[in-house]
Structure 1
Amino acid sequence: MVLLLPSLSPANAVEFAGFDITGYGRGGVYSSPAGTPRGAYTLGGDMQKFRLGNEGDNGIEVGIGKSLEVGNNFKLGLMYMPAMWNGQSSNAQGYTSISGLSLAPEAKFWVGQRRLRIQDVHIVDRFLMDYGDNIGAGMTDMSLGFAKLGMGVFSSSTLDKSSSSPNGASRINLDLSEISVNQGGALRLLATAVRGNFQMGSQGVGLSLLHNQSDFLTAGLNNSLFLQSSTGHAGLSGQFQGLGDVATGTAEQPGQRSMRIADALNWQRGAFGGQAVAAWQTAKTDGGVNNGKSTRDIAIGARVSYAFSANFKLLTEVGSTSRSMDGQNRQQLNKITIAPTLALAADFWSRPELRFYVTHISWNAAAAAANAGGFGAGGRMANTVAGAQVEAWW
C-alpha cells in the first residue's frame, strides 16, 4: 500500500528525555536562470506537482509528544508540532488524547488540532485522504469487528488563527478502515459533511473510497485505487474547500463539484524500488464569475530508485500533466529529474537522503500564457534547474 510518512507515526519517533520526538524537514541550495523559479513548476492541479527536484523550498516540522500511564490501562497523550517553512511559521498541530477506557479499550479520543492524514501519494506530495488540520475533537481506532471506526467534528479555526474563517463553517467526518474484502485487499471509506453560511456555492458532502492491494499481480507490488467525489465546500480529501481566510485576507472561493480517480503503485524488488501514479480529476465551479465552468486535470508519472550500494542510489522521476478549462486552450507541462543520491539504506523509502539533481521542465504556449506571472513569464517555454537537497523524516 502507499505508505504514510514515518514522521507521522509515533512508532517511528525518537525518544529524548522521556519525550517522543517526530518530525519532517527538507532544504538545500537551488539554482535556476535569473528571473525563473527554483521550483513549484505545476499547472495547479492537486496531483500535478511531481516533487523531486521541483520543490525549491526549505522547512521543518518538529513534534514533541508524551504518553503517560495513569493506571488501570488508562493513558493520557500530549502532542505539539510547530512548523516553519521558508522563514514563516506554518500551521501547527497540538492535541490531547486519552485511551484505555473500559467502554472501548482500543479507541483513542482526542481534542485539539490534529493531523489525520490517512494516505498519501508521496511523489506528488499529496495526501488524498486527510481530514485533520482544524480545531476539533474526535476518536480513532474503535473496533467494530468487521472494521475500525474513526470520526471527528471540526470548526474552521486553527491554533494559529483562532477565527480565520468568516462563514461559520463546521465539518464532520466518518472514517471506516481495515475492511477486508479480498485476499491481501482492504477497503477504506471516508465521508465528509460541511455546513456554514456561504456567500458562494453550497454546503457540501464528500465520499472517498480507497482499496489497498498487497502483492498486486506479482509479489512485492502494492496498488492503491482512490475513487472520490465531493460537492460545495467539502474538499475531495475530506477537509474544507474554499472557505477564505480573514487573517490573510483571502476571499471566500466558490464551492465545487469535484471527482477524482487515482491509482498508485509501489514496489521494492531488490535494489529496484519506486512509485508510479496516474490520476484524473475534474471540478465544476459552483458560484462566482466562473459558475458552471469545468476544469479537468490529468497527471501520470513515476519515480524510480536503483541502489548501486547500501548508501548510493540513483533516482529518476518523470511526470506529464495537462489541464483543460472551458473556453481555454489545453495546457501541458512535462518534467524529468535525475538525482544521484546518498542515503543510509538502499530502499526507496529510506531517509534521510542527500540528493544532487538536475530537472528539466517544458510546457506549451497555453501553459505559458496561463502562468505568465510565474514560470511562463516572458513567453518562456522551458527551463532547467539544479540543486542539492536533504530530505529527512523521523
Structure 2
Amino acid sequence: MKSYQVKLLTVLISAILLPPAASAAKLSVEQRLELLEQALASNQKELAETKAAFVAYKEQVRQQHTTVAARPQPAADPQLQPAANRQVLVGNLANASSPVPGTEPPAAQPVTLKQISQYVKEDIGFSYSGYLRSGWATGNHGSPQSYAIGSLGRFGNEHSGWFDLLLTQRVYNQDGKSAHAVVKLDGNVGQQYSAGWFGDNQGNENILQFSDIYLTTRGFLPFAPEADFWVGKHVLPIYEIQMLDWKSIRTDAGAGVGIENMDLGAAQMDISLTREDLDVYNRDLSTKTQMNTNSLDLRFHDIPLWQGGTLALMGKYAMANKSDDQKQNEHNNSYYTLKDAWMASATVRQQLSHNGFNEFTLQGANNSFASSFSNYSAASPSMGNNGYYYGDHTNGMAIRALSQGEVWLSDRIIMANALVYSRGEDIYSYDSGAHSDFESLRTVIRPAWVWDNYNQTGMELGWFSQTNKTQSGTRLKESAYKTTLYHALKVDTSILNSRPEIRFYTTWIHQLDNALSDYRFTDNKDDQFTVGVQAEVWW
C-alpha cells in the first residue's frame, strides 16, 4: 500500500514538474521512464535531507530534557501542585527547528501556566469577571422568607440568586496611554420556579440591568497621567457592609464623568459628577414627574496614619435641576419638594495579624440621605426610595457609627463582625412619616472553627432593635434575632475575602416586634426555621 502511494505521488509530481511542451509531445516509453526515475531520485534526496534534520532536532530535544532532569528537583510531587503553578518548558522553537551548526541549542525557560494565561489576557486586552450566589432552601412553614437582612445578617437569610457579569476590553495601548471599554450587567435569577425568563411582568423576580457602561482611560490627563479618567454610566467605588448586604457609601447613578486614584502624594483622590434623576410624586401619589438631579462626590483615601492604619474622607452633595413647571408645582404645593442633600464620612481601616482587618466609620447626613439611614433593613444612602421621591423631607440630620472586619481569636478560631449604631432627629422616615426621630442598633458576629484551608464550621448570630418616634409622639419598635449554624466548604481561611464557598446551614429567625414593618412569616408566624445550602463565588 505504501509503495503504491509513493508511486502515485511520484507520477503526480512528475506531471506537475514536466513542462507543457514535454507533456504535449509524444514521448516514447523509455523517455517517460527516464523522466520518472529522475523525479524519484530527486524526491528521495529531499526525503533523506528532511529525515536527517528531524533526527538532529530530536537529539537536541532529548539533550534538553536530560539536562533539565539532571537538575535538583523539589521534594513535592509536581503533579500534586495546582495546575496554574506547574512549570512548562518554553524554548525558541524557531531556532530549534533550524539549528545553526556549531552552536548550542537555547536553554529552555521555566514559565508557569498562570503566567502564560496572564500574558494571553494582556495580549488580547480582554477580561471577564463576575459574581454569583445561588442555593436551595426550605422552611418549616412552606417557602422560606428573607427578613431584615440588613440588620440580622445574610447567612441563612437570603434566598435570591444574584449575579454580576463584568466585561472589559482594551481598545488602545500606546505611548503610555490606554483606554478600556467596560460593560457590567447584574440582576437576579429567581430560585422558586423552573422558568427564569426576564421581563417586566408584575411579580417577576428575574431582573437584569446594565449597571455600568463606560470608557476608562489612563495617561490622557497631563496633570494626572497615573489617574483613571472615565466617562459613562459608572460610579466611584462602593464601601459595602458585607455581612449586612448594604453599602455605607454608594451613588445611584445614570451617567457621569470621574477621576479615580489621582496621586496627591500623601493621599489618593477620587472625584465624580453623576446624574441620578428621580421620579417625584404629587401629594396624592397619583402622578409623578422626572426631575433631573446631579451628585458631586469628592474622596481622599489611603491617607497613612500609623503602622497598618489608613484614613479615608468622603463628601457628597446632591442637587436638583428643576424645570420652571416643577418649581411651580412645588410652589403651589401640588408636588413634594425635592431638597438638596449632603453626606460626609470618615473611615479608619486597620490591618491586623494573619490578614485580618477592621474598619471604623462615622457618617452624618441630612434630608433624604438621613432618611435612608432610618431604614431598619437595607440602609444604603440614596436620594430616593428605589428611584422614587415622596414625603416632606425636613432639614433634620442623622448620624451613624459602623464597624466591620474579621479577626483571628486563636490559631483555629476566626470571627467576622458588623456593628451599626444609628440615630436621627426630625427626618422623614419611609416607615413612620415626616418629623420622625429614630434610634437603632444592629449587630452580627460570625465565629468559625477553621479545620483547614477547605473546611470551616461556625455560626452567625444576629440581633437588632430600632425605635421610631412619630410626630405625634407614638413609639414604633422593630426587633428580632437570628441564629445560623453552618459548615462551609471553601478555598482559603478568610471569612469575608475568600471564595468560592459552599455553605450547609440551618437558621432560626424569631421576630420580637414588627410595628414598623407589620411583617409576619408564613401562616402568620413570628418565627421561621429553615435548612439549605448556598454557593457563592467571584472570579
- TM-score calculated relative to the size of structure 2: 0.62
| Structure with the higher fraction of residues in strand conformation | 1
Calculate the aligned-residue CA RMSD, in Å.
2.9
Would you say the 8 A contact 2:487–2:504 is kept in 1? yes
Distance 1:148 1:108 in 2: 12
1:79 to 182, 186, 191: 182
Q: Which is helix-richer, 1 or 2? A: 2
Trace 1:44-123 onto structure 2 (pairs within 5 A).
47-85=150-188, 86=190, 87-90=206-209, 92-101=211-220, 102-123=222-243
Question: 1:41 maps to which residue?
Answer: 147
SS class of match (2:475): coil
State the Cα distance separating 1:93 from its structure 2 match.
1.3
How far does the alpha carbon of each residue in 1:338-391 deviate from its partner, in whole angstroms, 9 at most, with x for none?
111112333323211111110111121x32x5444x435655221111111110
Q: Please list every run of 5 or more consecutive structure 2 residues that lacks an aligned counterpart in the other structure.
A: 1-117, 191-205, 279-287, 323-329, 331-335, 374-378
Q: Displacement, 1:115?
A: 4.1
**Superposition pairs for residues 336-355 of structure 1, below 5 Å?**
336-348=483-495, 349-355=497-503
- For 1:315 and 1:71, locate their aligned partners in 2 and report how far apart those are by CA, in whole Å: 51
> Is the counterpart of residue 277 in structure 1 residue 418 in structure 2?
yes
**Corresponding residue to 1:209 among 341, 346, 353:** 346
Match of 2:462 in 1: 319
Deviates more, 1:231-240 or 1:342-351: 231-240
The amino acid across from 2:361 in the alignment is: F
Contact 1:174 1:190 in 2 (8 A): yes
User: Equivalent of 2:365, from 230, 236, 255?
Assistant: 230
Q: After superposition, what is the alpha-carbon deviation per residue over 1:309-356, rounded to whole angstroms, capped at 9, x for unaligned? A: 332211311111111011234322100111111123333232111111
Out of 384, 396, 400, the residue aligned to residue 242 of structure 1 is: 384
1:363 to 511, 516, 530: 511
Q: Shift of the alpha carbon at 1:195?
A: 0.8
2:245 pairs with 1:125: yes
1:257 maps onto 2:397 in alignment: yes
The whole-number CA distance in structure 2 between the counterparts of 1:165 and 1:77 is: 36
Distance 1:68 1:211, change over 3 A: same
Contact 1:340 1:357 in 2 (8 A): yes
Q: Where in structure 1 are there 5+ consecutive unaligned residues?
A: 1-11, 159-163
Q: CA deviation at 1:239?
A: 5.3
Counterpart check, 1:23 vs 2:130 = yes
Contact 1:275 1:302 in 2 (8 A): yes
**SS at structure 1 position matched to 2:415:** strand
Please tell me whether the aligned partners of residues 296 and 324 of structure 1 are also in contact (alpha carbons under 8 angstroms): yes
Determine the C-alpha separation between the residues in 2 that align with 1:238 and 1:50. Answer: 15
Stretch moving more, 281-290 or 112-121 = 281-290
- Asked if the contact 2:476/2:516 (under 8 Å) is kept, the reply is no
Question: In 2, are the aligned partners of 1:371 and 1:377 still within 8 Å (CA)?
Answer: no
**Aligned-partner Cα distance in 1 for 2:385–2:481:** 31
Pick closer, same or farther for the CA change 1:251–1:157 going to 2, 3 Å: closer
CA contact (8 A) 2:351 2:358 kept: yes
TM-score relative to the length of structure 1:
0.83
1:383 to 516, 524, 528: 528
Give the counterpart of 1:291 among 434, 449, 458.
434
Supply the distance in 2 between the matched residues of 1:149 and 1:240 (Cα, whole angstroms). Answer: 22
CA offset at residue 121 of structure 1?
2.2
Question: Larger radius of gyration, structure 1 or 2?
Answer: 2
